[in-house]
Structure 1
Amino acid sequence: MDRAIEQKLISAIHKGVVDAAQWQNFVDGLRDALGVIHANLTFRRTDAPRSELTSYASGGPMEHMSEFYLGSYYRNDPLPYYRLFPGTLYTLQDLFDPADHSVWLQLRQLLAPFEGTDMLIMRISEPDGANAWLTVIGAEGPFECQDRELLQTLGVHLQIALTAYAKLAEAEARLAAYSNAMDRLNVGIVTLAADGRIINADPLVNRLLQDGQIISRDPQGRLVIANGNAARSLTLALRDFAQEPRGRPRAVRLSEAQQADMMLVPVADRPVTGRFTPVLRAYVHTDHLPAADSIDGLMEMFRLTRSEAKLALALSDGLTLAEAAERLGVTLQTVRTYSKRVFQKTGTRRQAELVRALLTSTLSLA
């Protein structure tokens, strides 16, 4: 096998972790390199049924094959996918007794659409349990030794790539969960370099930047704060945190009218990647208006009636009983009756305790 072709395939394996096409370029290149009819790299979760898989395939009547396999064949697929020893290359002859005619009939059904005569399969696993299977189907008799050697070499790199891919997928899922929680709390995050240049910003901060009333971005890409005192505090924090990455976080009020504030936190663990060094991460908070489904959440958590839940939300906004009565369109006496029930059901005695109970519960994420 040409060394340049091998290196190109190895490169495609590792690029697959981050490329938009993922491993499609790899399987296309592998099919061409081996001169086989079909090459396939399939991922499947351990607890997923065989009908649920992610497959990168090259060559052969794939649309027809997908209908055939997912339509019914997967229920009787004889290949012992999870019993294959990771990193070991198997032929069909290694896996099945030549005298077992019923199994070979099923296998011929699998190979028939490709007009194939032989198949090689390898299981790739990573430490946390992710699995993939590399399969090639040929039509010119047994595979040559150099083909097997190439696949064994590629299997080592696929294991490394699969480990990296699993870690990346786990980190992305965790980040998505954190981002969703921060968004529900109306907290955005922006990371700055020493000169105030915005390195990255989440969707909430980007919306505020586009609005431009509280914060904006100058032509050089630096964060600009409309409030003069807050802007000066940011400048000082950037200077101090650049010199002392473990300095004390600082709170800054951005806007009284919009009840917006910002927590400035130094970036202690600075990555070696990226064009600019992050020195400050700002958590931007704006006034959190309760979502409509917070009423349902209050009803479920504290067994409030809908009217009582509406009152609880009004009081959590800082309204007096009289103001809450006006908002809800009921009498002051009715509100007083509701409030007694709300305090009793939430285990609080005063409005301040009620607000604290609501803000510290998971309903603040609703």
Structure 2
Amino acid sequence: MKTANQEQRFDQLVGLIYESVQHPGQLAPLMESICDEIGAVAGHYLHMDMSTREVFSSVISNPIFNAADVEYRTYYNSVDERLQWVAAGAVGEWRADYERFDESFVRRSEIYNDFLFKHGARHMVLGRVGGEGLDNEVLSFLRPVGAGHYDADDLQLLERITGHMIRSSVLRRRLRALESQQQADQALLKYFPYGTVWVDAACRVASFNNVAADMLAGADGICVKAQRLRLADPGADAMLVAAVSQATGAEGRRGQWFAARRERGGQPLVVSVIPAQPDRQAGFADDSGPLALVILQDMGRQQLPRSAILRKMFGLTPAEARLAEALLDNDTIESYAQKADVSRNTVRTHMASLFSKTGTRRQAELLRILMMAEPPIRI
């Protein structure tokens, strides 16, 4: 029968599990608390690709093992036979090493003899607490040399918190995806071929990119007065105020676009106002309230060819830019290779470079970024 104190400690563990979703720094105290309950000397969290053994992030609960963590991430994860065994198990299944690896295996194992024993560790229990495809989160808990292996009573606590660990992993994965998309969008806006200005509900300017800076410096139909974005055309200025109000309103936030006359004549500015939520880590105050993104399209500017824009924005080579254009035109790798008279391996190499330079990992993400970079349509 569980005591009130045991239940209180369990509730504290559950609280730490969910705190670690938004605050990864809580993973270490969470694992340390679990270690106290199951008699482990350290806990180790790994977010990694089980196929390539690439480690995306790693947290160790006990600072004594910081050097071991570095060694594991840089080499020993590549020779750790236990990872394949853990990957074969279901998410949420805890596996104690003695159940699979006997003393004969341990005596000839590099991971035990050259790594674990050197750092004073012996028995472990490991489990996948989350993952999608080859992207996995693994937790392991180490016991020192001389300590016994984990038994059913030791694993009972891990089994109780497993559901919470799985849910927290799902939330963490969703948060990583949102943060990755947000960072990509922020980077893309910085290099947009047209002006972007963040404003608050009162049209006060929070930030703008280099193209917008050039437009504001030219003061031809648009400027900043008393920290507020203003249009010289009175009718367009009133539409800007109304559009920003709609985009930052408490209910039914909507975007719209309109044209604004230039003071010196020529083609107008096309102004688009959309509701948006910027990355607070990019320099926006947490208390700034809802913001709107104002996109300024100068119809008088000569538009660069699509390939030139892609090369300039992402640092692509001519061959990579040609592949990017082909993907935007709905070409497959096979059809592009045939049209360009190159091997599919060459195309895959260029594709890998596109992923790297655009900060994406999947073709759907890549296409979304490339489509956002296309030059605006003339009207």
Q: TM-score, normalised by structure 2?
A: 0.59
After the TM superposition, which residues 200-279 of structure 1 pair with which residues of structure 2 at under 5 Å, given as runs?
214-216=222-224, 223-225=228-230, 227=232, 229=234, 230-237=236-243, 245=252, 249-253=256-260, 256=263, 261-265=270-274
Deviations 1:70-113 (A, max 9, x none): 56544432212322322111111222245545456753544313
SS at match of 1:62: helix
Within the candidate set 40, 56, 73, 1:36 is matched to 40
User: Aligned partners of 2:24, 2:262: CA distance in 1, in Å?
Assistant: 41
* Mapped pair 1:124 → 2:129: yes
Q: CA deviation at 1:16?
A: 2.4
Deviations 1:113-152 (A, max 9, x none): 3423421111122346531111111233234655422222
Within the candidate set 84, 88, 96, 2:93 is matched to 88
Q: CA deviation at 1:159?
A: 1.8
Contact map agreement 2:121 2:142 (CA 8 A) in 1: yes
Contact map agreement 1:37 1:60 (CA 8 A) in 2: no
User: Aligned partners of 1:146, 1:51: CA distance in 2, in Å?
Assistant: 34
Equivalent residue number for residue 179 of structure 2:
172
Deviations 1:13-65 (A, max 9, x none): 322232263633433443345452111111102443x3645210022643442
User: Aligned partners of 1:296, 1:201: CA distance in 2, in Å?
Assistant: 24
Contact map agreement 1:237 1:264 (CA 8 A) in 2: yes
User: Aligned partners of 2:212, 2:7: CA distance in 1, in Å?
Assistant: 47
* Mapped pair 1:153 → 2:160: yes
Deviations 1:310-349 (A, max 9, x none): xxxxxxxxxxxxxxxxxxxxxxxxxxxxxxxxxxxxxxxx
User: Aligned partners of 1:58, 1:248: CA distance in 2, in Å?
Assistant: 47
Q: 1:208 to 1:171 in 2, by over 3 A?
A: farther
Contact map agreement 1:91 1:120 (CA 8 A) in 2: yes
Within the candidate set 281, 284, 288, 2:296 is matched to 284
- Of 279-288 and 33-42, more deviation after overlay is shown by 279-288
User: Aligned partners of 1:76, 1:361: CA distance in 2, in Å?
Assistant: 42
Amino acid at match of 1:57: I
Contact map agreement 2:27 2:61 (CA 8 A) in 1: no
Amino acid at match of 1:96: F
Deviations 1:280-321 (A, max 9, x none): 653234686889x949969959xxxxxxxxxxxxxxxxxxxx
Deviations 1:147-195 (A, max 9, x none): 42222233322222222222222233333334444432224253654x6
Contact map agreement 2:123 2:142 (CA 8 A) in 1: yes
SS at match of 1:176: helix
SS at match of 2:157: helix
Q: 1:227 to 1:146 in 2, by over 3 A?
A: farther
Q: 1:155 to 1:197 in 2, by over 3 A?
A: farther
Q: What value does the CA root-mean-square deviation take over the aligned residues?
A: 4.7
- Of 179-188 and 81-90, more deviation after overlay is shown by 179-188
Contact map agreement 1:190 1:205 (CA 8 A) in 2: no
Structure with max Cα Rg: 1
* Mapped pair 1:8 → 2:12: yes
Contact map agreement 1:209 1:217 (CA 8 A) in 2: no
* Mapped pair 1:19 → 2:23: yes
SS at match of 1:150: helix
- Structure 2: which 5+ residue stretches go unaligned? 277-285, 320-370
Equivalent residue number for residue 61 of structure 2:
58
Amino acid at match of 1:264: V
Contact map agreement 2:309 2:374 (CA 8 A) in 1: no
SS at match of 1:42: strand
> How many positions carry a matched residue from both structures?
295
Amino acid at match of 1:184: F
Equivalent residue number for residue 135 of structure 1:
140
SS at match of 1:148: helix
User: Aligned partners of 2:21, 2:215: CA distance in 1, in Å?
Assistant: 32
Q: TM-score, normalised by structure 1?
A: 0.61
User: Aligned partners of 1:81, 1:52: CA distance in 2, in Å?
Assistant: 16
SS at match of 1:69: helix
SS at match of 1:96: coil
* Mapped pair 1:188 → 2:193: no
Equivalent residue number for residue 326 of structure 1:
none
Q: 1:284 to 1:275 in 2, by over 3 A?
A: same
